[in-house]
Chain A
Amino acid sequence: MPRSLLPIKSEHLEDIRTLRRLLRTLWETCRCEILVVGSVGLFAGMLPALQLAALRRLIDQVLLLVTGGSAYVTLAPWVLLFLCATFAEDLLQWVERWINDTINDLVKARLHERLLKHAVQIPLRLLEQPLCCDRLRRAENGVDEQLMFTVNSLLDIAPEFAAAVGMVAYVGTGSILFPALLLLGTLPAMAAHSRVQKRLYELDQAQTSQSRDVQYLEELLRGRDSAPEIRLFGLGEFLIRRRQSLYRAVRSERLAIDRQRADLQALTGTIRVVTFIAVAGIVALFAEWGRFSVGQYATYVGATEIYQVTVLRLLLRTAFVRGNLAYFEDIESFLKLEAAQPAAKPPTTGPEEQVTRGQPAPAVELQNVSFSYPGSERAALLDVSLSIAQGETIALVGENRSGKTTLAKIILGLYDPISGRVSINGWAMRAETGHESLAMAALFQQYARYQTSVRANIGFGDIDRLEDLPAIRESARESGADEFIDHLPRRYETLMGKGLYDEGCDLSTGQWQRLATARTYFRGAQLAVLDEPTAALDPEAEVEMYRQFSRICQARSVLLISHRLGCAQLAHRIVVLEKGQVVEQGTHEQLLKRRGLYHRMFEVQAQWYR
C-alpha cells in the first residue's frame, strides 16, 4: 500500500504546514492574548477531574452520614471543593470567551489588512478578470465568517485536550479498556463530520458563481441606481421571481447536505450512546459486587460521559479546524496572486535636465504596441506606434471600441502591452505600476466619486499635498468646480456620500465630473489623459472648459479623447484610431483635406450647427 499511503501523507503534511502558517499569523498578531487564553484554558481543563473527585467523596460521606457513621463537618471540605471547582470552571470559561473574541477581532483586522495591501498591488488587467474577483471575494468572506470559527476551535483544542487527559486518568481507574471503548464509540461521529464538512466546502466552491448571480439580482432589487428603471419597466416582480428560483436551486443542494449531516449525526450519536451504556452497565455490576463504592460508581459514570463528550468535541474541533484550513488557504491563495513588480526607479536626472542636454526625449513613445484583453481574441490595439512630444497636445478620436481608452491605459501604465515598447521621457516602462514617480494624471470616462470631503476628492490627485488647500482651490477654480463648492454647506470640507455621513451631500453628475477634473489638474502632471472630459457638462460649462483648455495644456503633454470633433481642433495633432490601429494623423486641416475617416466624422457633427 505504499503508493496510496504516500499522497495521504503529503496531504497531511500540507495541512500541517498550513496550520503552522495560521498559527504563526495568530502568534504574531496577539501573543499575549494567546498565552493568557492558553493557560486559562489548561487550568480550566483540569477542573472537571477535580470536581468529580470532590463529588465522589461527597456522595460517599453522605451515605456514611445516612447510616449514622459520620458527622456533618466531614462533608464541608468536599462541598467546598466541589463548589469551588464548579464555579472556577464557569468563571474561567467566561474569561476565555472574551479573550477569544478579542483574538478574533485582532486577527480579522490583521488579515483584512494583508488582503487589502495585496489587492492594491494586483495589476489592473488581472483584477478585471472575474476569476480574480471571485478569489478576492472568497478570501474576504473567509476572513469575515469562516476563519473566526476556525480560530476559536483552534484555541479550544489545548484545554479540551487537557480535560480529556484528566478524564482518561479517571476513567482508566476502572479498566484500561474503558477509555479505549469509549474512544472507539466517538470515531464514527468524527468520520461523519469530516465527510459532511468536505462536501460543504466543495459545494461552496461550486456555487460561488451562482451565489454571485443571486447577490447581483439582490443588488438590483435594492439598489438606488436601478430603482428608476425597475419602476419604469416594471421589472420588480420578474427579478424577484428569478432571484427566488436561483436561490432555491442553490439552497436545495445545501439542504440535502444538511439532511445527510443530521442522519449521520443521529446514527453515530446512537453508536456513541451504546458504548457509553455498555461501560455504565459494567460499572453498575462492579458496584453491585462491591468493587466500587456508590460515590465512585456515580462519579465514574459522570466521568465516562464527560470523557466521551470531551473526546468527541476534541476530535470534532480538530476535524473542523482541518477542514476549515481550506478557507485559510483561500486567503493565502489570493495573497499569492501575481502582484505588480515594484516600480523601477527612473534616473534621478529629471526631464528638465535632459532638456538642458539638448536632447528632449518625447514625453511618451509607443513602438509597435499591441494589446488584447484576457479571454478576448480580438486585438484591442494592433501595432500602434505613436509619440507625444513634451508639451504637445494630442487628440485621440475614433468610434466606440476603436481602442482609445485602452491606448490611454497603456500610456498610463495601467496595462502592460502584450508586445511592443512604451517609454516615458525616454525611460522604458517595464511594469504595471512602473511610473508612480512620474506625474501622470487622468480623467477617466468612468471616474471615481469618492465618498469623502470635497477637498480630498480633489486632493486625491496628489495625496502628498492633501492638506494644501490653496492649491486645491486653484484646481477647483480651473475646473469650474469652485462655483458650486462655494455653495456647499461646509465648502471644501463638505462630505460627499449621503449614506455614509450624517450630513453627507450628493452632487449632480456634472458636478462630480468637475470635481474629477479638478483632481486631474491638481495632479500637476507632465502628462494628462482626458477621456471625454465634457461628457456630462452642461453647455456653458463645456464652452468654459474648452476656453480653459489651452491654458491647461501649456505646461504639459495632453492626450485628449473626445467624441466631439469640434474640440479636437484644440490639439496640436489629431490621431484617428480605427479597430485598434492608427489610421490617420495630422492637424485638423490636414485631416480634413485627406477626406478620410476624420473628415466623415467631422461632417456628421458639423451639420447640426449649420
Chain B
Amino acid sequence: MTAREAAHTIRFAVRLVWRLAAGICSGITAAAILDGALPVIQALATGNIVNLILRSAAHGHPPSVRLSTEPLLVWFGLLSAVLAGRECLASYRPYLGTRLRERLQDGLSEVLFRKSVRLPLESLESDDTYNDMERAFTGSGALHDLGGDLIPQLLSNLLAGLGILALLLKANWLIPAVLIAGAVPFIVWGIRSERVTVDLEYGQTPLRRLADYWRGVLTQIETAAEVRLYRLDRHILPVWRDLQQRLVREKLQSRRRQATRGMPERAIYYGASGAAICLLVQAAVHRQVTTGMFVALLYAMKQYWDAAQQLMLGLLWTTNVFADIQYVQTFLDLPEEPALEQEGAVYPRAEIRLENVTFIYSGAERPALDSINLEIPAGQRVAIVGENGAGKTTLARLALGLYRPTSGRILINGADLETTGRLAWRQNCAALFQEFMCYRLPARENIGFGNLRKMGDNPTVEEAAARSGADRLIAALPHGYDTRLGKEFEDGCDLSYGQWQKIALARAYVREPALLVLDEPAAALDAQSEQEMYHQFRDSAAGKTVLLITHRLGSARLADRVIRLESGRVVEDGTHEALIEREGGYAQLFRAQMEWYRMADSQQGEGLSGDC
C-alpha cells in the first residue's frame, strides 16, 4: 500500500467515523488524553513523597513528624486522586468504546445494507461483487475497532510514553534517545510478524470457508434428510476434519516460525532498556535527579515499557485494519442503481418492446440472450417455453427492469427504460420467481411485501390471498394472517413447498401490476391448485401483460401467444395453434407431453363405454 493510498484510507475512515459518531468520539479522545497524562502526575507525586520521607528521615525523627506530614498529605492526596482517576477512566473508557462501537455499527451497517440493496441485480450474479460485499461486512468491524479501541489506545499510550520520556529527559537526554532507538526495530519487527499472521489468516480464508460449508451441511436442516439417509457424515466428517486439521497445522507452523525469529530485535530492545536504567542510576548518583524522582522514574520506566508494547500492538492492529477498511471503501465505491427520486410513473397498461437486446452474464462467454427483437402489446398473455438454459428467466428479468441489457434497448410504451428509469418501471411489475422467497415472517407480511404501502390494509392482502388460493391455508393457521411462517423460528408454522408458492403468488397479486411474470408457477402445485393457477392466468385482468414461463406445454395453450427460445434466440413465435400446425419443436414436445393424457383418455373412453 502506498502512502497516498494509506492517507486516503485514513481520511475515509476518520470522516466516516466522525460523521457517524462525532460526540462520543470527542468524549473518548478527551478521556484517552487525560488517561495518558496521569502516569506523569503519578510519577511526580511518588517522587515527591519519597523525597519528603528522605528529608524527614535525615532531620531526625520526633519533632519533624508533624512538620513534614502536611506536604506529605498533599502529595498523598494527589496520588490518591490520580489513582482513583485512573480507575474511573479504566472503567468508563471501555464503556464509551462500547457506545461508540454501537453507534458505528448501527450507522455503518445501515450504510452497507443500503448499499447492498442498491447494487444492480446483474452485478450480484458475479462472485466478485458478492465477495466484495462479504469482505466489506467483515471489514466494517475494523472501523468499530479503530474508533472504539485503537485510536484512543494509541493516543493514551503515546501520551503516557511521551510524558515519561519527558521526565527522563530531565535526568539525562540520552535516556529517552536510547529508549526510542531501541524500541524502533522491535516495533518494526512486531508489525512485520503480525503481518505474517494476518496474511496467513487471509490466505486461509478459502479453506476456512470450505470447512464451514461442510460443517453447515452436517448441521443445517436443509441437508439433514440426505445426510441421514445416505450417512454422508461418514464421508463429510473426515473431509471436514482434514480441512480443520490442515488449518490448525498451518497456524501452528507459522506460529512456531514466528517464535524463533525476532530475537535480535528483542535483544536490542532489552539492551537499550538496560542501558537506560544504567544511565538513570548514574544520573541519580550524580544528583542530576533527586532520589525521590529516581525511584519514581524506575517505576515509570516500567509504565513506559507497557505503553511502548501497547503502542506496538495498537500500531499492529491499525495496520491490520487498513486492509479491512479498504474493503469497506471498495464496496461503497461500487456502482449502484440510481435511487428513485420521485414516486415514478404509473403505468396502467404496458406495451413492452425489446430492440436488439443482448445480455451477457459477467464472466460468461456465450450471451444468455442474443439480439432479441420482440414486441409484446399491452395486455397480451405470453407463454415462454424452451429448454433449461435457453434464456427464459433472463428475458423475464430484463422485461421486469431487473437487468440492464448489455446492448439494445427495452421500450415501455415507446419510452426507453434507461431514460425513464428502471426503478420506476419495477414498481409496476410483479413476479413469482422460480426460486421465490419464503420469508420467515408472519403470513400478512409475506403477502404484503408485494406492496408495502398496502401491507397494513387487510382487505387488499386478503383479496390477494383469495386470488392465489392462499386464503384457505392461512385460515387453517393458528393465528391466521399473523402466524409466523417457517419452522426455523419458535411459534413458526411450517408450510409445504406448494403452500409457500401460493403465498408467494399472493405477494405478486397484491401489487396490481402492469406486467406480471410467472416463472414456472405450477412446478410444485397439485392438480387442483394448478388448474386454479392457470385459470387465473387466463382470466387475469384485462390490460395486464403476463409472461408465463412454463414447462407444461398444456398450459401454454391458454396464452395468446407462445414464444419458444433456444440458446438465447427466439426460434418459434405464434399462437399455440399456429405452432402446432408448424410442426416444429414445439409441436413435437406438446405431443410427447400429451401422450400421457391421450393414452389415459382412450382408456378412460373404453372404461366409460364399458360402464354404459
Q: What residues of chain B lie closer than 8 Å to A220, measured between beta carbons?
A: 437, 439
Q: Within the complex, which residue of A63, A127, A243, A511 is in contact with B221, where a contact is CB–CB below 8 Å? A: A127
Q: Flag whether B342 is at the interface (Cβ < 8 A).
A: no
Q: Flag whether A105 is at the interface (Cβ < 8 A).
A: yes
Interface residues of B in 262-292 (CB under 8 A from A): 266, 270, 273-274, 277-278, 281, 284-285, 287, 291
With A66-B287, A231-B402 known as contacts, the answer to whether A543 contacts B99 (CB < 8 A) is no
- B426→A288 contact, CB < 8 A: no
Q: Flag whether A389 is at the interface (Cβ < 8 A).
A: no
With A499-B131, A588-B600 known as contacts, the answer to whether A255 contacts B98 (CB < 8 A) is yes
- B215→A112 contact, CB < 8 A: yes
Q: Within the complex, which residue of B106, B277, B451, B529 is in contact with A83, where a contact is CB–CB below 8 Å? A: B277
Given contacts A261-B91, A280-B76, A444-B226, 4 further A-B contacts (CB under 8 A): A247-B106, A400-B498, A460-B226, A604-B527
Q: What residues of chain A lie closer than 8 Å to B427, measured between beta carbons?
A: 234
Cα A239 to Cα B427 in complex, Å, equals 17
With A213-B489, A606-B597 known as contacts, the answer to whether A536 contacts B520 (CB < 8 A) is yes
- A401→B496 contact, CB < 8 A: yes
Q: Flag whether A236 is at the interface (Cβ < 8 A).
A: yes
Q: Within the complex, which residue of A116, A128, A609 is in contact with B237, where a contact is CB–CB below 8 Å? A: A116
Q: What residues of chain A lie closer than 8 Å to B87, measured between beta carbons?
A: 265-266, 269-270, 272-273
Closest to B386 in A: A538
Q: What is the distance, in angstroms, from B475's C-beta to the closest C-beta of chain A?
A: 13
- A592→B603 contact, CB < 8 A: yes
Q: Flag whether B116 is at the interface (Cβ < 8 A).
A: yes
Q: What residues of chain A lie closer than 8 Å to B555, measured between beta carbons?
A: 608
- A563→B240 contact, CB < 8 A: no
- A593→B611 contact, CB < 8 A: yes
Closest to B87 in A: A269
Q: What residues of chain B lie closer than 8 Å to A535, measured between beta carbons?
A: 523-524
Cα A140 to Cα B219 in complex, Å, equals 10
Q: Flag whether A515 is at the interface (Cβ < 8 A).
A: no
Q: Flag whether A284 is at the interface (Cβ < 8 A).
A: yes
Q: What is the distance, in angstroms, from B416's C-beta to the closest C-beta of chain A?
A: 20
Q: Flag whether B113 is at the interface (Cβ < 8 A).
A: yes
- A116→B298 contact, CB < 8 A: no
Q: Flag whether B341 is at the interface (Cβ < 8 A).
A: no
Cα A136 to Cα B397 in complex, Å, equals 38
Most B-side CB within 10 Å, residue of A133, A563, A593? A563
Selecting from B1-9, B32-40, B77-85, the interface stretch reads B77-85
Q: Within the complex, which residue of A106, A274, A284, A497 is in contact with B80, where a contact is CB–CB below 8 Å? A: A274
- B56→A226 contact, CB < 8 A: no
* A-B CB proximity, top 8 nearest: A608-B554, A566-B596, A236-B117, A269-B87, A510-B388, A265-B91, A400-B498, A262-B95
Q: What is the distance, in angstroms, from A450's C-beta to the closest C-beta of chain B?
A: 7
Closest to A88 in B: B270
A-B pairs with beta carbons under 8 Å apart, 28 shown: A83-B270, A105-B248, A116-B218, A117-B233, A224-B124, A225-B435, A233-B430, A238-B449, A244-B110, A251-B102, A266-B87, A269-B84, A272-B87, A273-B83, A273-B84, A277-B80, A277-B83, A284-B53, A373-B494, A414-B225, A440-B229, A509-B388, A539-B553, A546-B596, A565-B527, A566-B593, A609-B593, A610-B601
Cα A546 to Cα B534 in complex, Å, equals 24
- A536→B489 contact, CB < 8 A: no
Q: Flag whether A180 is at the interface (Cβ < 8 A).
A: no
Cα A277 to Cα B87 in complex, Å, equals 13
Q: What residues of chain B lie closer than 8 Å to A486, measured between beta carbons?
A: none
- A109→B245 contact, CB < 8 A: yes
Q: What residues of chain B lie closer than 8 Å to A297, measured between beta carbons?
A: 50, 53
Q: Flag whether A372 is at the interface (Cβ < 8 A).
A: no
- B437→A226 contact, CB < 8 A: yes
- A228→B121 contact, CB < 8 A: yes
Q: Within the complex, which residue of A447, A508, A604 is in contact with B388, where a contact is CB–CB below 8 Å? A: A508
Q: What is the distance, in angstroms, from A353's C-beta to the closest C-beta of chain B?
A: 24
Q: Flag whether B65 is at the interface (Cβ < 8 A).
A: yes
- B116→A221 contact, CB < 8 A: yes
Q: Flag whether B92 is at the interface (Cβ < 8 A).
A: yes
Number of chain B interface residues as a range = 35 or more
Q: What is the distance, in angstroms, from B326's C-beta to the closest C-beta of chain A?
A: 19
Q: Within the complex, which residue of A105, A130, A287, A532 is in contact with B489, where a contact is CB–CB below 8 Å? A: A130
Number of A-B contacts (CB under 8 A): 419
Cα A501 to Cα B137 in complex, Å, equals 20
Closest to A236 in B: B117
Cα A73 to Cα B597 in complex, Å, equals 111
Q: Flag whether A9 is at the interface (Cβ < 8 A).
A: no
Q: Flag whether A399 is at the interface (Cβ < 8 A).
A: yes
Cα A432 to Cα B229 in complex, Å, equals 10
- A592→B137 contact, CB < 8 A: no
Q: Flag whether B130 is at the interface (Cβ < 8 A).
A: yes
Q: Flag whether A201 is at the interface (Cβ < 8 A).
A: no
Selecting from A15-23, A94-102, A152-160, A170-178, the interface stretch reads A94-102
- B219→A399 contact, CB < 8 A: no
Q: Flag whether B571 is at the interface (Cβ < 8 A).
A: no
Q: What is the distance, in angstroms, from A93's C-beta to the closest C-beta of chain B?
A: 10
Q: What residues of chain A lie closer than 8 Å to B50, measured between beta carbons?
A: 294, 297-298
- A605→B244 contact, CB < 8 A: no
Q: What residues of chain B lie closer than 8 Å to A212, measured between beta carbons?
A: 489
Interface residues of B in 112-168 (CB under 8 A from A): 113-114, 116-118, 121, 124, 127, 130-131, 133, 137
Interface residues of B in 492-544 (CB under 8 A from A): 492, 494, 496-499, 507, 511, 520, 523-531, 534
Q: Flag whether B578 is at the interface (Cβ < 8 A).
A: no
- A294→B53 contact, CB < 8 A: yes
Cα A447 to Cα B222 in complex, Å, equals 8
Q: What residues of chain B lie closer than 8 Å to A140, measured between beta carbons?
A: 219
Most B-side CB within 10 Å, residue of A106, A298, A569? A298
With A511-B388, A538-B388 known as contacts, the answer to whether A87 contacts B270 (CB < 8 A) is yes
Cα A237 to Cα B110 in complex, Å, equals 10
With A446-B497, A605-B530 known as contacts, the answer to whether A229 contacts B437 (CB < 8 A) is yes
Cα A605 to Cα B600 in complex, Å, equals 11
Q: Flag whether B420 is at the interface (Cβ < 8 A).
A: no
Q: Flag whether A216 is at the interface (Cβ < 8 A).
A: yes
Cα A414 to Cα B224 in complex, Å, equals 9
Q: What residues of chain A lie closer than 8 Å to B80, measured between beta carbons?
A: 273-274, 277
Q: Flag whether B334 is at the interface (Cβ < 8 A).
A: no
Q: What residues of chain A lie closer than 8 Å to B95, measured between beta carbons?
A: 258-259, 261-262
Selecting from B177-185, B251-259, B351-359, B371-379, the interface stretch reads B251-259
Q: What residues of chain A lie closer than 8 Å to B444, measured between beta carbons?
A: none
With A66-B285, A226-B437, A228-B121 known as contacts, the answer to whether A277 contacts B79 (CB < 8 A) is yes
Q: Flag whether A469 is at the interface (Cβ < 8 A).
A: no
- B526→A234 contact, CB < 8 A: no
Cα A602 to Cα B106 in complex, Å, equals 56
Closest to B422 in A: A231
Q: Within the complex, which residue of A66, A102, A230, A446 is in contact with B117, where a contact is CB–CB below 8 Å? A: A230
Q: What residues of chain B lie closer than 8 Å to A109, measured between beta carbons?
A: 244-245, 248
Selecting from B205-213, B317-325, B405-413, B460-468, the interface stretch reads B205-213
Q: What residues of chain B lie closer than 8 Å to A289, measured between beta carbons?
A: 61
Cα A445 to Cα B225 in complex, Å, equals 11
Q: Within the complex, which residue of B237, B277, B557, B597 is in contact with A566, where a contact is CB–CB below 8 Å? A: B597
Q: What is the distance, in angstroms, from B300's C-beta to the closest C-beta of chain A?
A: 12
Q: Flag whether B94 is at the interface (Cβ < 8 A).
A: yes
Q: What is the distance, in angstroms, from A100's C-beta to the closest C-beta of chain B?
A: 11
Interface residues of B in 585-612 (CB under 8 A from A): 589-590, 592-594, 596-601, 603-604, 607, 611
- A83→B273 contact, CB < 8 A: yes
Interface residues of B in 63-94 (CB under 8 A from A): 65, 68, 72, 76, 79-80, 83-84, 87-88, 90-92, 94
- B274→A83 contact, CB < 8 A: yes
Closest to B274 in A: A83
Closest to B93 in A: A262
Cα A262 to Cα B99 in complex, Å, equals 12
- B607→A117 contact, CB < 8 A: no
- A281→B235 contact, CB < 8 A: no
Closest to B223 in A: A448
